[in-house]
Amino acid sequence: MKVFSYTFIIGVLCAFLFTACASQEAGNPSQSKEKAIPAEVSAAINDAIKAANRAESVLGLWLNTEKTIGKAKKAAKAGKYDKALKLAAKAKWEGDMGYNQAVAEKKKYDHMTKNNIPFFK
């Protein structure tokens, strides 16, 4: 009976030590397999984020812009830099166009309210 209990205790300790060592290896940042994203791609994604924030500041953010930025980030992490650049450029364009559209609509709205023009005819 004592042999069984000692064997059981040794087995539990070995299992504990094994999991502790495995968790240390998994958390070691020096062995990370992620590649660094090129500066050009990071800059393009950051420009797209800035354009989206600018559009959002005037309530002109388009529906798919944030999804496109997310896809660009995902493509960059996967190493598909050409795709990430295209998606980031598309998201930047959407952000810029959303801003321009919102500003134009505001000017139109301001003109209509100033001159008492009805919205619907």
**Sequence letter at residue 65:** T
CA 42 – CA 26 distance, rounded (Å): 27
pTM summary value: 0.65
- Residue 24's pLDDT band (cuts 50, 70, 90): low
* pLDDT per residue as tens digits for the range 26-64: 555 544 456 789 999 999 999 999 999 999 999 999 999
Query: Domain range spanning residue 61?
Result: 37-121
Give the length of the chain: 121
Is residue 72 a part of any domain in this protein? Answer: yes
Q: Amino acid letter at 57?
A: S
Residue 83 lies in a domain: yes
Work out how many domains the chain is built from and give that number: 1
2 within some domain: no
